Amino acid sequence: MHYKGILTLHLFGRAIPTFLFLGTIGYVVGVGLGFCLAWQTGLPLWAMVVLCLVSALTFFVLAFLHKIITGHEELIYYHHEIAIMTVSALVLRWVLHQPVVPFLEITLLGIGTFLAFGRLGCLNAGCCHGRPYHPISVIYGDEHRKAGFTAHYVGIRLFPIQLVESVCVFLITGIGAWLFLAQQPTGTVLGWYTFSYGTIRFLLEFFRGDPDRPYRRGFSEAQWTTLLLMLVVLLYEGLGQLAFHTWHWLILTGLLLLMVVLRLYSSIAGNQTMALRNPHHVREIADILSHLDMQVQRPTPAVVKVWTTSLGYQLSGQTVVEKLADWRLFSLSCKQGSISQSEAQALSGIILQLRLKNQTHQLVHSPPVYHLLVPEKDIGRESNYR
């Protein structure tokens, strides 16, 4: 079962980007939720009007500055959350002279509502997408590529990670609104959203496939930001400014242990399969496959060209002609030494996901090289997007 991303909606005789449409709905619903929460708890509605304007202005100013600095439009959720929460806190304290934490909790729930709808926009636009996955998937076409979607994943079934995040954020925001109306101790909703969404986001990052996502020491910017925000909340809990909850410490400890275990596994076992599957590295492999596709279309060269990725993995390709069928031969090795079976299987899996119509293949070990044999007739992408 797969879903085809809808890049543009046609409403009232006009073409409207789906991302913009859903984002606008998210903002309106988020504002409505904020006013309802403020009204139910007796907070001044005039202050909510100011906060809504401040939040919108901060959002657009940050987006504008990002475009000026980088030269392209990009919305990074955590950047906007931090900016909006920081500016709102300053306005509440120094301009409006209103209680900071209750209004920040309302603001955060509004941001969460906007995010939940926004991720549905991402699902259709093709941004923040997942990795190849078949049982339940989303597919993007050439029009998405022209709009900025990852070129080597056009027509390939991807895990609908945006939908998963959207559903989770709807639940988190709903529970957060209930906690706020139940008038839990100061800061409970801030902690709930930061740690529940942070945990979900941290784990989902392992399944994202967009190659422009920044990584540091094997973990994405969003994962590092998640840990930072959790530490900030714990700091304020320690200072007595927010309600203390033991489970917050347990969550942070668990995530840190997970990072340590993954790093130790990679270093001690000498296994780079996690880094090998990183979206940056997958893009390198996709580029090499494009070069190999062009190479095999030419007369067989005297010397087969070997391509090397940034991690030191080497790939080459050629066509093997036999009586019954022609085969595409991919040779896999490692510049630094021998390549392990798990690494060869991971590399082969990426090649098959990016190039193979069917799953017919052979992986043969001829130390220190692995050879992936694929029927030439099966090379190409299945036309999933119709």
SS3 318: strand
> Rounded CA gap, 85 and 92, in Å?
10
> Does the pLDDT value for residue 299 go beyond 60?
no
Mean pLDDT score across all residues of the chain: 91
Please give the pLDDT value at position 255. Answer: 98
Residue-wise pLDDT for 222-267, tens only, equals: 999 999 999 999 999 999 999 999 999 999 999 999 999 998 887 7
Q: Which secondary-structure segment (H or E) carries 365?
A: strand 362-366
Q: Residue 37 burial (CB < 10 Å; 0-12/13-18/19+)?
A: buried
Please give the pLDDT value at position 228. Answer: 98
Local structure of residue 92 (DSSP, 8 states): I
- The structure tokens listed for 69 are 């600095």
> Rounded CA gap, 348 and 367, in Å?
16
SS3 90: helix
> Does the pLDDT value for residue 302 go beyond 60?
no
**Which residues are bridge partners to 208 per DSSP?**
130
> Does the pLDDT value for residue 114 go beyond 60?
yes
What is the value of pTM for the model shown? 0.92
Please give the pLDDT value at position 322. Answer: 63
Dihedral of the alpha carbons of 239, 243, 244, 246, in degrees to the nearest 10: -160
Q: Do residues 173 and 109 lie in contact, with contact meaning Cβ atoms separated by under 8 Å?
A: yes
Going along the chain from its start, the domains and CATH numbers come out as: 8-269 (no CATH), 276-375 (3.40.1720)
Angle at 120 between CA 116 and CA 126, to 5 degrees: 130
> Rounded CA gap, 309 and 266, in Å?
18
**Confidence at 183, pLDDT banded by 50, 70, 90:** very high
**Confidence at 325, pLDDT banded by 50, 70, 90:** low
Please give the pLDDT value at position 274. Answer: 84
Sign of torsion over alpha carbons 222, 228, 234, 236: negative
**Confidence at 356, pLDDT banded by 50, 70, 90:** low
* Candidate from 13-17, 252-256, 319-323 with smallest mean pLDDT: 319-323
> Cis peptide leading into 368, omega within 30 of 0?
yes
Residue-wise pLDDT for 24-43, tens only, equals: 999 999 999 999 999 999 99
> Does the pLDDT value for residue 384 go beyond 60?
no
**Confidence at 285, pLDDT banded by 50, 70, 90:** very high
**Confidence at 213, pLDDT banded by 50, 70, 90:** confident
Average pLDDT over residues 189-196: 98
